[in-house]
Amino acid sequence: MPRYRRQNIDRKTNKPELKKTETSRPDLILNRANQVRRDDDVVKTPKRTVYDIDYAIKWFIENEIQPQVEHNGETVNIPVIYANGEKWDNVRRLGYLRDEKGMLQSPIIVLKRNTLQERDQLKKLDINNPISGNQIVYKQKYNKRHRYSDDIFPVPTPDASTSSELFAINIPEYIDIDYDMLIWTDFTTQMNEVIEQIMPYGTFAWGNEFNKYRTFIRNINFETVNTVGDDRLVRATIPLTVNGTLMAEQEFRQSTLQKRYSVKKIQWAFVVDTDVNVFDTTFVPQELINAKQRIISGNNVIAGGASGGASIDTPTFNYLTQLLDQSGSFVDADTITVPAAAATNPINSSVATKNEFDVYINGQYLDKVTYTWTPSTSTTQTINFNTGSLGFEIEATDTIIINGRWAS
């Protein structure tokens, strides 16, 4: 987390003084927009400690590897203990462990942590600056500012003007921990069995269901000890290197999990003024055609004026601009049929009207008062002509074309 030094911030201007602290960079301006209270959410601040890693490695040896040996004709689970100060002092001075009665403890496995160092291959980015590379951001699907619209039928209602709830967490510290796993057995054959059970787990992820860490098994050292009285002891030391991570609940007195809200999005509508209703004619304004790229990109385009402020999306734009030709078939002197179905308006789901088609006979446009027709979604349309208004009768040799919004 970037560290803000409040003593160098002017409360009136909310700007830092023109000087540098002991770091090589100027102090950061405190952004109160990022200070969101978290006492009303149920998200826990993640934490991962050295103890968690120790416990996970010990748990894996006990519960996953489960080393066993044959002892007095029985299969015995080898106990695993973590070397505290007193136990490790006995191991260091004597080379073995005895119980409270003075009996040599064998077989047994002792786990001891030796060193802890930062992993050089995974250095953090410039930690003194609040750049996005030092945090991982998770987005809540729903929150108080983005709820369901209906309690009975919970359909989410995304709104571009509604901000999203975000949680930004620091990237953990990547570390390497070196352990020594010391094993004591009574016989070399027992030691061989234990080593054979442990070796297949090299480079595996060791740990429990909450924490898992990649673990490497290094060179194993063997030793046979015959200086403990009448007892005989076989010992092996297995060095382990664990790739771990550390995450504190707070860094520099600030929580490592920050709650935020995304910036609200404001969209300006692109309005095309039309002198005629584009849904009542075959004419499409050039301004609307020029906005094609904006429409297919998902931007908001409004057909204003006589079109009543209809929102034009990609399906609606295709409906308006894809004008198809269909041929009419002669029936009698005043009737023709068209083997096609009219398209459906994607805005109101109604069938295209008569005004959205143009009829041509032998290349001559006919006024719409000269024929009657109610377009439908049936596969056959019937058009009746008023021969009195038309001034002539339909003949079988006439070429009749109906251009308009047909269903493709």
C-alpha to C-alpha distance for 225 and 231, rounded to whole angstroms:
9
The alpha carbons of the chain give a radius of gyration, in whole angstroms, of: 40
Which band of pLDDT confidence, cut at 50, 70 and 90, is reported for residue 311? confident
Straight-line distance from the first to the last Cα atom of the chain, in angstroms, rounded to the nearest whole number: 58
CA atoms within 13 A on the CB side of 157: 12
- CATH, residue 112: 3.30.2000.40
- pLDDT mean over 175-199: 92
Alpha-helical (H) ranges within 84-187 are 85-94
Do 221 and 367 share a structural domain? no
Do 178 and 95 share a structural domain? yes
Amino acid occupying residue 34: N
- pLDDT mean over 341-360: 93
What is the model's pLDDT at position 353?
93
Domain of 377 in residue numbering reads as: 324-404
Looking at the predicted structure, is the pLDDT value of residue 117 above 50? yes
Q: Higher model confidence: residue 76 or residue 131?
A: 76
Helix or strand run (H / E) with residue 295: helix 292-296
What is the model's pLDDT at position 223?
86
Q: Express each pLDDT in 292-310 by its tens digit.
A: 888 888 877 888 877 778 8
What does the angle CA 219 – CA 225 – CA 229 come to, to the nearest 5 degrees? 160
Which band of pLDDT confidence, cut at 50, 70 and 90, is reported for residue 2? very low
Q: Higher model confidence: residue 307 or residue 79?
A: 79
Do 210 and 101 share a structural domain? yes
C-alpha to C-alpha distance for 303 and 275, rounded to whole angstroms:
10
Do 86 and 202 share a structural domain? yes
Q: Which of these, 281, 273, 278, 261, lies nearest to 357 by C-alpha position? A: 281
Do 380 and 298 share a structural domain? no
Do 205 and 103 share a structural domain? yes
Q: Express each pLDDT in 213-256 by its tens digit.
A: 999 999 999 987 665 555 678 889 999 999 999 888 876 667 77
Return all residues near 373 (Cβ < 8 A) that are at least 6 apart: 354, 357, 381, 382, 383, 384
C-alpha to C-alpha distance for 86 and 26, rounded to whole angstroms:
49
Do 306 and 182 share a structural domain? no
- What is the model's pTM? 0.53
Q: How many domains does the chain have?
A: 3
Do 239 and 184 share a structural domain? yes
